Structure 1
Amino acid sequence: MKVEQIYTGCLAEAAYYIESKGEAVIIDPLRETDPYIQRAESDGARIKYVLETHFHADFVSGHLDLANKTGATIVFGPTAKPNFDAHIATDGEVLKVGDVTIKVLHTPGHTMESSTFLLYNEEGQEYAIFTGDTLFLGDVGRPDLAVKTDLTREDLAGHLYDSLHGKIMPLSDDVIVYPGHGAGSACGKKMSSETWGYLGDQKKTNYALQPMSREEFVKEVTDGLVAPPQYFPKNAVMNKMGYASIDDVLAKGLNGLSVRAFKAAWAEEEALVIDTRHQDDFAKGFIPGTIFIGIDDNFAMWVGALITDLQQPILIVADEGREKEVVTRLARVGYDNPIGFLKGGFEAWAEAGEDVDRMEEISAESLASKYEAEGVNILDVRKSSEYNAQHVIGAQNFPLDFINQNMSEVSRDKRYFLHCAGGYRSMIAASILKSRGYNNLVNIQGGFKAVVETALPMTEFEEQITEL
């Protein structure tokens, strides 16, 4: 028996590969299918099942393409009603895979169809549970992401309590917990950075598994929930109703365009142009009107949070050789309408003599001097929780997550200095504001970390930092 976790850090998502005696199972695959097919081929194995713990909200799963390409059977837990052929397992149903078995445990709460898959080894012993978004390390799944349900989040939290206490906690302490996500995912509140652990440890340390009444659990799990990213319900619907093959999305998106063709497509399709290079390169020169969302950070999450229309035509500016990576990561969160990329990248645009814009930047030291001498308007684009933990006195919290709703809070007549934690999010925010006609913007190099580390030794500036 082989069990492998296939973890994708940019989405904090875990898929799983199980193989025994030439038969394989994939659990909660990402949209692209080649890694799973190649992994099975390397073992000389046939993918028998694609198991889905639930209708995912934070990414588009690869279950349909994987089943179509391999002949595998898609399996959901009880109550799931997908708009395509799938086996809807009963609670307690056992699936045979080589010399091992997998038992379906219906564990509603995160969503009503949510299920946990219990793996028994060759000796018939409980070995591991694949919990999806029912149980994380340090947390449990949030109960407010179900697709089109009349149940309240409190109702779902109550179901989750029952599932945990009735199906999960009675299992042996030495059972391995393989969750669907780790820290960084918006599917929970307090997830650990570890990506697997033992159930016994979770019984001791996970706040949601401590002794408490059902009512106390509901209050604890629902307390402090913020609105999920806007793309979550849209991805959940895609996973339930079906979607285009990623092969078709790649074929359309990997269309290299000359500068002239790029400009024509931009105008004719009313496309959004995303520059995916590093923020330092973007600052030095970019195509006017484009927005920056760099590929080398939480690219897919920020695309999903900020671009409201999944069918928005998208044109790509990328470092040469990374275009496929960009289109793939767009597709992972349901953006299936990339229409091409600029052949030769930004350099081709500049060499063609087209207009180029730049983002003004300032060091933390220079910001400190200006702050002392004349005062500045600082936009802190971090999350409210980060801002509340520590921020520069006088800085305005302007979270990137809600920039589309809160843009009226900033004035085109003022000069703003923007920062996040390290420089990535503030460059996204600055590029969006610039594309909307806010031109008097300065990005603070190195973000808040640089402000604290570099400016704190200056006594007067140190006094302007507050910790709440």
Structure 2
Amino acid sequence: MNIQQFYDEGLAHASYAILSEGKIALVDPGRNPQPYYDFAEANLAKIVAVIETHPHADFVSSHLELYKNDDATIYVSKLVGAEYPHVGFDEGDSFQMGKVTFHSLHTPGHSPDSISILLKDENEKDHALFSGDTLFIGDVGRPDLREKAGNMTAQREELAKMMYHTVQDKLKPLADDVLVFPAHGAGSLCGKNLSDARQSIIGEQRQTNWAFNDLDEKTFVDSLLQGQPYIPKYFGYDVDMNKKGAPAYQRSISQVSIWPEGATLPAEALVIDTRNNLDFAAGHIPGAINIMNGGKFETWLGSIVGPEEKFFLVADIAAELEILITKAAKIGYEQLIKGAVVNPAGMTEKGNSFDLEAFKANKEQFTIVDTRSRDEHATAPIFEAAINIPLQELRERAEEIPTGKPILVHCAGGYRSAAGSSIVAGILKDAEILDFSEAIKEFQLIAH
């Protein structure tokens, strides 16, 4: 038996290949199936099974493509209501592959249809738990991603209660030496206290994970519901896509329209300019949003742009466009790209220059907007008078910002303020908008 982890840094997503006797089962595969094909080829093996622990919200899976290309059986809980060919895989169900056996545990809490996969070795000994978004290293999955309008609080509380009983009834009884392989690591928005570690054992989690503490149900529920990160706009879209099954990866990204360099984009088009903030400030299409190509590009794209919108991608070189399209595809957004173009015509708008010394001398002459999260703003304040509007809310709330003074937009390091200042400039067209950028690092947190 061989277990191989595949880790996507951008989405902090872990998927797995389990190899036994020339056969491979995948758990929670990402959108691009090629890494799994490469692994299979290197091991002279065949992908025969794909297990989905639940319909993921933060990435699109390749399960349907793997079924169509390899005739791999998809195993998923019947509670998902999957619209693709599959085998129901619920509490008490199991299947053998080579010398190992996969057992399904119903582990609701993150979602009502979540399962975890208990892998048993050739001696029927519990070997590893593929815990999906149920158990993370240091945390458990958030319970608020599957809410419905009109019953939001009740549903998240109900799921949090389910998670309590999942921990008590399904996770705590496992042996200390059982390996834990979660679907996410630090940086994921599917939990709040995820460790940098990529794997663990149950015994370690029993000692270090707060969810394993001796808590009553109410204390557990209150702790789980408190301080969860924001929910990106794309999450519901990905849940639905994963229930249906996504189109084939390579075919879908090849259908993105690449426009000629220097092409003129349609007036009033939504433009996502991915160049660095200095190039953006030197010249960009009026109204463009500057989401720089960085480690979390796909998450911020799906947080700022809704799945009902179409947009154009702008980069400074063709090779960058290819990377951006693949990143967009990880969340299913390649289907929303109307066109991708290098240095389009009409980049006439320039950013305003920021005089740091003038600001230091006269802070009261600026309206300061903090684009960090509410938790960051509350626990690590930088400017007392700052207005906190998290980046993912700026397009909807920019008009709340007073325009009588120059508007100075900041974050923690410069990435979010580049996007934020471009959003505000596109909405408050007559105001003077400034990007604090990396200069924010010169300022100390206000002491409490």
* Alignment TM-score, normalising by the size of structure 1: 0.88
Distance of 2:284 and 2:433 partners within structure 1: 15
Work out the CA distance in 1 between the residues paired with 2:314 and 2:308.
15
Contact map agreement 1:59 1:334 (CA 8 A) in 2 = yes
Cα distance in 2, alignment partners of residues 147 and 74 from structure 1: 26
Asked if 1:382 is matched to 2:366, the reply is: no
Secondary structure in 2 matching 1:30: coil
Mapping of residues 406-445 of structure 1, within 5 Å: 406-438=397-429, 439-445=431-437
Cα deviation for residue 311 of structure 1 reads: 4.8
Does 1:205 find its partner at 2:208?
yes
Partner Cα separation in structure 2 for residue 249 and residue 318 of structure 1: 23
Task: Say if 1:2 and 1:376 are closer, same or farther in 2 by CA, change over 3 A.
Answer: same
Match of 1:179 in 2: 182
Q: Is the 8 A contact 1:249 1:337 kept in 2?
A: no
Looking at structure 1, the residues matched to 158 and 140 of structure 2 have their Cα atoms a distance apart, in angstroms, of 15
Matching residue of 1:292: 290
Matching residue within 321, 327, 332 for 2:325: 327
Seen in structure 2, the aligned counterparts of structure 1 residues 152 and 431 have a Cα distance that, compared at 3 Å, is same
231, 248, 269: which one pairs with 1:228?
231
1:9 maps to what in 2? 9
Residues 414, 245 of structure 1: CA spacing in aligned structure 2 closer, same or farther, 3 A cutoff?
Answer: farther
CA-CA distance at 1:366 after TM superposition: 5.1
- Runs of at least 4 residues of structure 1 off by over 6 A? none
In 2, Cα distance between equivalents of 1:238 and 1:76: 15
Cα deviation 1:37-61 (Å, max 9, x = unaligned): 1221121110011110101111211
TM-score of the pair, normalised by structure 2: 0.92
Alpha-carbon spacing, 1:407–1:120, altered in 2? closer, same or farther (3 Å): same
Letter in 2 for 1:251: S
Question: Larger deviation: 434-443 or 80-89?
Answer: 434-443
Q: Is the 8 A contact 1:275 1:318 kept in 2?
A: no
Structure 2: distance between partners of 1:13 and 1:338: 23
- The Cα of 1:339 is off from its aligned counterpart by 2.7
Q: For 2:347 and 2:212, how far apart are their aligned partners in 1?
A: 58
Range with bigger deviation, 132-141 or 251-260? 251-260
User: Does the Cα contact within 8 Å between 2:90 and 2:115 map onto a contact in 1?
Assistant: no
Flag structure 1 segments of 5+ consecutive residues without an equivalent: 453-464
Aligned residue number for residue 220 of structure 2: 217
Aligned ranges for residues 40-439 of structure 1 at < 5 Å?
40-146=40-146, 152-225=155-228, 228-260=231-263, 262-263=264-265, 266-267=266-267, 271-335=269-333, 336-342=335-341, 345-346=342-343, 349=345, 354-362=346-354, 364-365=356-357, 367-371=359-363, 375-388=365-378, 389-438=380-429, 439=431
Indicate the residue corresponding to 1:457 in structure 2.
none
CA contact (8 A) 1:22 1:43 kept: yes
2:382 and 2:443 in contact (8 A); partners too: no
Aligned length: 442
- Is the contact made by 2:62 and 2:246 (CA closer than 8 Å) also made in structure 1? no
| Superposition deviation, residue 148 in structure 1 | 5.7
1:81-127 CA-to-partner distances (Å, cap 9, x unmatched) read: 10111111131222222222221111112112101111223443222
| Helix, strand or coil at the partner of 1:421 | coil
Mapped partners of 1:72, 1:60: distance in 2: 18
Shift of 1:414: 2.7
SS at match of 1:300: helix
Aligned to 1:461: none
Asked if the contact 2:272–2:311 (Cα under 8 Å) also holds between the matched residues in 1, the reply is: no
Aligned residues of 2:399 and 2:427 also touching (Cα < 8 A): no
Q: Secondary structure at the match of 2:129?
A: strand
Residues 107 and 116, structure 1, Cα contact 8 Å, conserved in 2: yes
Q: What's the offset of the Cα at 1:220? A: 2.1
Q: How many angstroms apart in 2 are the aligned matches of 1:329 and 1:12?
A: 13
Return 212-221 or 21-30, whichever deviates more: 212-221
* Cα distance in 2 for residues equivalent to 1:271 and 1:302: 19
Which whole-Å CA distance do the structure 2 matches of 1:446 and 1:175 have between them? 44
TM-aligned CA deviation for residue 298 of structure 1: 1.1
- Please give the alpha-carbon distance, in whole angstroms, between the structure 1 residues aligned to 2:78 and 2:134: 15
Cα 1:361–1:249 shift into 2, 3 Å: farther
List per-residue Cα deviations over 1:155-210 (Å, max 9, x = no partner).
22222222222111111111111111112212112212222112111111111111
CA deviations over 1:5-38 (Å, ceiling 9, x no partner): 1111211111111112211111111111212212
Q: Which amino acid aligns with 1:380?
A: D
State the Cα distance separating 1:337 from its structure 2 match.
Answer: 2.1
Cα gap change, 1:445/1:217 in structure 2, threshold over 3 Å: closer, same or farther? Answer: closer
Q: Find the residue that maps to 2:292 and give its secondary structure.
A: coil
Partner Cα separation in structure 2 for residue 41 and residue 88 of structure 1: 28
What is the DSSP-based 3-state SS (H/G/I as helix, E as strand, rest coil) of the residue aligned with 2:160?
Answer: helix
Q: CA–CA distance in 1 between the matches of 2:148 and 2:21? A: 40
For 2:305, the aligned partner's letter is: I
Distance change in 2, residues 1:310/1:123 (3 Å): farther
Structure 1's 94 and 65: CA in aligned 2 closer, same or farther, altered over 3 A?
A: same
Which runs of 5 or more structure 2 residues have no equivalent in the other structure?
A: none
2:398 and 2:86 map into 1 onto residues whose CA distance is 44
Higher mean Cα deviation, 248-257 or 27-36? 248-257
Aligned-pair CA distance for 1:275:
1.2
Q: Deviations over 1:257-305 (max 9, x none)?
A: 2434x42xx34xx642111122233233323332111121311111111
Change (3 A) 1:225 1:319: same
Within the alignment, does 1:467 sit opposite 2:440 as a pair? Answer: no
Change (3 A) 1:206 1:246: same
Deviation at 1:451, TM superposition (A): 2.8
Deviation at residue 447 of structure 1 after TM alignment: 4.6
Measure the CA separation in 2 of the matches of 1:253 and 1:211. Answer: 52
Residue 315 of structure 1, CA deviation? 3.6
Distance 2:200 2:282 in 1: 45
Q: Is the partner of 1:55 in helix, strand or coil? A: coil
